[in-house]
Amino acid sequence: MNLYEIDDLCAKRIISLLPEAEKNIEIRVNGALTGYGELVEVDDKLGVEIHSWLSGNNNVK
C-alpha cells in the first residue's frame, strides 16, 4: 500500500491477507523498500514489529 491508499482507509475496513502474510511484511517509504517486519497485536491494536532496516546495500539491524 502506498500513503494515498492508507489515507483512503476507513474505520472497520477489512484488508484480506494471504496466510502467514503477517509474519513477513515489507516496510516501504514512498515505494522504496526500507525494512522488514511482522504484524503484531499490541493492546488490541495492530502494530509492526520491525525486524530489520535496510540502508543502501547494507542491512542495519
pLDDT of residue 44: 87
β pairing state of 25-29 and 32-42: antiparallel
Q: Using CA of residue 15, residue 38, residue 44, residue 6, what is the dihedral sign?
A: negative
Domains along the chain with CATH numbers = 3-60 (2.30.330.10)
Q: What is the pLDDT of residues 20-38, one digit of tens each?
A: 877 889 999 888 999 999 9
**pLDDT tens track for 30-60:** 889 999 999 888 898 888 999 999 986 554 4
